[in-house]
Structure 1
Amino acid sequence: MLLKLLSSSLLAAGLLAASGAQAETLRWARASDPTTLDPHSFNTGTNFVLSHQMYETLVTRDAKGKLVPTLATAWKLTSDPTVWEFKLRPGVKFHDGAAFTAKDVVFSLNRAKGPTAQVKSLLASMVEAKAVDELTVHVKTNGPNLIFPDNLTNLFIMNEAWAKAKGAETTQDPASSTENFATRNANGTGPYQLVSREQDARTVMKANPQYWGKGQAPLQITELIYLPIKSPATRVAALLSGEVDFAQDIPAQDVARLKQDQRLRINEGPENRSIFLGLNVGGKELKHSSLKGKNPLADARVREAIHLAIDRDAIKRSVMRGLSIPSGMIAPSFVNGYSKAMAAYPKADAAKARQLLADAGYPNGFDLTLHTSNDRYVNDEAISTAIAGFLGRVGIKTTVVARPIAQQSVAINNADLDFYLYGWGVPTYDSAYIFDFLVHTRGKDGRGPTNATGFSNAQVDTDIVSLASEADKARRDQTIARIWEVVQKERFYIPLHDQVIHFASIKRIDVPVHPDNAVLFKDVKLAAK
């Protein structure tokens, strides 16, 4: 019935694949809808991937993870090691026809550093952005920041005049229900421009007729329709029936079956994303438990017991159908600072876990609530259900509360949970991104916005801040290793695995898997029908 409704609505809107030789419509399905179109509000991959179709950044990464020019054609450190210079692409226009200039870059960087912008941690080291001329920007940092350009791959450039005229000068506050004009509208320089937006139903984009990249990118897709389909079964059925042309968030249990279908193409690869559990180690008592006046998660022995109770190999085998990379570290192998030794994980040991709980004063265990998304990561709810089973064996009675990622993200932003499943990608390919968002004390110096664990360590904070201004790479890497030693020892995060992802499409479309789970549809090539 859902498929019939989906097909009928597309037909009614005249949006099914065009038959003209030059017109190509691509219907793209994912498990969830972006929470907003405001490009600086939420720091979530689902938002970023859609934004990349309409907005652009100064630099992006190719499928091999290499930084490539986008709105900036060149970048370098000046004679002053605290100032980066960006040369901008000439002749670029926003969708409304306005010329792209250095003033738009300065405005966008300052907006993205605003108090309600979740991406502000990426710009924590920025002291000032200055327009030198129409096509040159200087960014001064509070010390020599060797990786500043790496922080810009998801910092989108908006038109200053449009944002101010439309009342969107500051970002939508992700912690409230307040909207601005940019929540449901867009005006970027990207290859596609917004036609219509129906939250949780459909976003329609059409090719930008004045796109600067004509002749440089294939640009074969003339209309792009984004369809959030929450149900995995319905999403896969839509692909099989021809209702959609390209789908992400493919359930692990369906991959083998889809690979056997000669009408489809299934591309597979490791994602630059770790899946893990977050623990409230800073609260005096649990917020979602019948146990009052105590917080067992504040005890290192309890955290170690949870770590040992989880059978990551069983999750890989039974829940992920072999399509995960179990790990003991919340950094994938793509990331600077990753260590094979730290990524080693223990064999599940329920007996030792029970002993640790008894030593901590919980011989009969306690009850806990595990909050999880059910539409963001591969088999996220099923993973959480398995975790509850493992913990039940050692006496921790775990209730799983599953909800959409939009609600889960708000709860994490508000630190309103005790025990939660989460995933983290690393678009900078550097450990500082993990530390800035997940480890640094929450709310201090603009860092730690998604650290919902209550972990706080003054020395670790100092070390994290130093990474943005350390000019000696060897010394910087030593600091990264030192921070990781603390993270591993304290176990306020319990790593589970790195994701393996799949892109599924009709045969004539070939979309290689990007480590960041990103797709730039301007680069997608279509074989002849």
Structure 2
Amino acid sequence: MPAQPSPAQSAQTQLERGNGPEPSTLDAHRCQEVACGNVLRDLYEGLVTEDAQGRLVPGMAQRWTVSADGRTWRFVLRPGLRWSNGEALDAGQIVASFRRAFAPATAAPFGELFDALDQAQAVQAGRVAPERLGVSAPDPRTVEFRLNRSASLPALLTLPIAFPVYLPAVRRHGAQHTRPGQLVSNGAYTLAAWTPQANLQLRRNPRFHDAAAVAIERVRFHVTEDAAAELQRFAAGDLHITEVVPPQPLVSLRRRFGAQLRLSPYLGAFWLGLNTTRAPFRDAPCAAGATRCDDRALALRRALAMAVDRDKLTRYVTGLGETPAYGTVPPGIAGYTPAQAAWSDLPQAQREAHARALYRYAGYSARNPLTLELRYNTSTPHRRLALAVAAMWRQTLGVQVRLRNEEWKVFVQNRKQRAITQAFRGGWIGDLADARNFLAAFGNDGPLNWTGYDDAGYRERLARADAAATDAARNAWLRAAEQRLLNDHAAIPLYFYTSKHLVSERVRGFQPNALDRHASRWLSLSP
């Protein structure tokens, strides 16, 4: 029987990480949230990956080239790549995995981000066979991608949808291929155990190409939906890293935790979505020959947006460096100037006066108040924010708000289906530093368009951005699209994120980066 590690050895070789809600899946092609992404980046590696500072570095590919027109990319694999079960991993398997990712049956939520990949949209829609997808293997160590327009492909290849999934396990086990003992991966770690609603245990993968440089033997991701409880577990020494920090006065947090409190800029926007496919936010269709449509639903959406005091939210409710948001794209993206709501320069008192007038125009009053359900996933910060927004809507407009919290997986499904949602917690965490990443979901009827926003003018502006000949022209069209989205008020921007974690003094290698990704392979634990 193998010798068991002593408690002292375990303390030095096991990293304890808070991870927020239970991951909705460990199927890399179906992951759509941070909770599964954190785990998958430990289990898998794409052709390209990121270092601790968030810079693009070689992953499975040791090098890559791009054609002069930016439409053909070739990636040369490292020699001797292996799956965690010891089998060889070659270019043909990577191509087959991409075809599975975009097959209609997979329903990959992030497939729409690869709209530049030749035939990707047609494959996902079932119009052409997966074999027509613009990815091929000229030889066992080369993967080639064909694009229909110039795009920053290496950044996209860091997303979980681009990770290689071991297809024999999918054929053998179906949806259960993600379970311990059945999940075959290619990253720095393997899945050793998964206790639902408790934790996921990972073990270092000895067949990873850079296993010798992976310092931490085991990683345990804990389900920590309650941010206040997560903080207490950190304070008690049960966690080395928290996923978030609950809303508390910054001065007291600094006093209590000192340098263990890590705050840094983050490409993320928090907004509330409004379901524009059903009452009360659905626009009335224009009558034939009419010069003006019934715009009372738009007036109501705008009233709700203007009634929220974002300065109070970021000062008293979130309070950890977040900044008020009047757009959907956060600052900090090179070459892009974010758009803002047209009324963002008005003092709050004037916004509220306009909001009350719009509310009356939409047909609501003290005698006929709007009754609205605001839905959010179970989380202390989200509950506090929902309570604050509901109070502002009630005090300024007289809206009667019912708060409904749901466990993460249930919330995700309800939000995606748009059948029972009215107002709901939304937002977007950047997958790459590109304004389009924050706007693309609103441009089609895919699973990420939770609001159901449907506007031909918006889609035209995205298309013009895609066809632009220069970065400046592309960003100008993207800004025009964002402005149109803001004018239609399908979403109510509230604040731009900061990344916020508590990190033990024992953790080495934890570096701030704009996308807030911290793969365990770059970390170590001091004694």
For Structure 1 versus Structure 2, the TM-score category normalised by the shorter chain is 0.7 to 0.9
Deviation of 1:305 (Å): 1.2
Q: Say if 2:94 is the partner of 1:105.
A: yes
Q: Which residue of 1 aligns with 2:198?
A: 201
Q: Give the letter aligned to residue 238 of structure 1.
A: R
Tell me which residue corresponds to 1:133.
Answer: 139
Work out whether residues 106 and 129 of structure 1, in 8 Å CA contact, stay in contact via their aligned partners in 2.
yes
**Which of 400, 403, 413 is equivalent to 1:400?**
403
Question: Per the alignment, in what secondary structure is the counterpart of residue 506 of structure 1?
Answer: coil
- 1:118 aligned partner: 109
Read off the aligned partner of 2:398 and give its amino acid letter: G
**C-alpha separation in 1, matches of 2:166 and 2:211:** 24
**How far 1:471 moved relative to its partner?**
4.5
Partner of 1:332: 330
Please point out which of 482, 485, 489 is paired with 1:484: 482
Identify the residue that residue 146 of structure 1 maps to in structure 2: 151
Of 72-81 and 479-488, the range deviating more from structure 2: 72-81
The answer on whether the counterparts of 1:258 and 1:264 sit within 8 Å (CA) in structure 2 is: no
Unaligned runs of at least 5 residues, structure 2: 119-133, 283-293
Whole-Å separation in 2 of the counterparts to 1:338 and 1:400 = 36
Is 2:339–2:483's contact at 8 Å kept on the other side of the alignment?
no
Paired AA for residue 201 in structure 1: A
Give me the whole-angstrom Cα distance separating, in 2, the residues matched to 1:207 and 1:107.
26
In 1, Cα distance between equivalents of 2:193 and 2:399 = 48
Question: Is 1:50 paired with 2:69?
Answer: no
Q: Secondary structure at the match of 1:482?
A: helix
1:361 Cα shift?
A: 2.2
Q: State the distance in 2 between where 1:363 and 1:27 align.
A: 52
Q: Is 1:66 aligned with 2:70?
A: no
Deviations 1:14-54 (A, max 9, x none): 99984239961111123212111111113111111110000
CA contact (8 A) 1:112 1:119 kept: no
| SS of residue matched to 1:31 | coil
Give yes or no for contact 2:317–2:385 (8 Å, CA) kept in 1: yes
Does the C-alpha gap of structure 1 residues 386 and 15 become closer, same or farther in structure 2, counting only changes over 3 Å? farther
CA contact 1:192–1:206 (8 Å) conserved in 2: yes
- CA-based RMSD of the aligned residues comes to 2.7
Q: 1:498 to 1:390 in 2, by over 3 A?
A: same
Name the structure 2 match of 1:9.
none
8 Å CA contact 1:282–1:298 kept in 2: the answer is no
Deviation, structure 1 residue 148: 2.5
Decide whether aligned partners of structure 1 residues 412 and 335 sit closer, same or farther in structure 2, where only a CA change above 3 A counts. Answer: farther
Counterparts of 2:433 and 2:504, CA distance in 1: 31
Closer, same or farther: CA 508–164 of 1 in aligned 2, 3 Å: closer
1:526 alignment partner in structure 2? 525
Q: Is the 8 A contact 2:465 2:473 kept in 1?
A: no
The Cα shift of 1:160 comes to 4.2
TM norm structure 2: 0.85
Residue 66 of structure 2 corresponds to which residue in structure 1? 77
For 2:494 and 2:5, the matched residues in 1 are separated by 40
Q: What pairs with 1:222-233 in structure 2 (closer than 5 Å)? A: 222-233=217-228
Separation in structure 2 between the aligned mates of residue 346 and residue 304 of structure 1, nearest angstrom = 14
- Asked if the contact 1:366/1:397 (under 8 Å) is kept, the reply is yes
Alignment partners' CA distance in 2, 1:186 and 1:347? 55
The residue identity in structure 2 corresponding to 1:30 is N
Structure 1 counterpart SS, 2:136: strand
Q: Which amino acid aligns with 1:132?
A: P
Aligned pair count? 486
Are the counterparts in 2 of residues 201 and 228 from structure 1 also a CA contact under 8 Å? yes
For 2:384, the equivalent position in structure 1 comes to 382
Q: What does 1:402-441 align with in structure 2 at a 5 Å threshold?
A: 402-416=405-419, 417-437=421-441, 439-441=442-444
Mapped pair 1:251 → 2:246: yes
| Contact 2:52–2:518 (8 Å) recurs in 1 | no
8 Å contact from structure 2 (residues 17, 221) kept in 1: yes
Task: Tell me how far 1:108 sits from its aligned partner.
Answer: 2.1
For 2:449, the equivalent position in structure 1 comes to 451
Match of 1:266 in 2: 261
CA contact (8 A) 1:440 1:464 kept: yes
Partner Cα separation in structure 1 for residue 295 and residue 177 of structure 2: 42
Q: Which runs of 5+ in 1 are unaligned?
A: 1-13, 169-178, 288-295, 443-447
In the TM superposition, residue 261 of structure 1 has moved relative to its aligned partner by 3.9
Is 1:238 the counterpart of 2:228 in the alignment? Answer: no
1:3 is matched with: none
Percent sequence identity is: 22
Contact 2:296/2:361 (8 A) holds in 1: no
Cα distance in 1 between the residues matched to 2:490 and 2:4: 48
What one-letter code is carried by the residue in structure 1 that aligns with 2:310? R
Q: Is the 8 A contact 1:263 1:507 kept in 2?
A: no
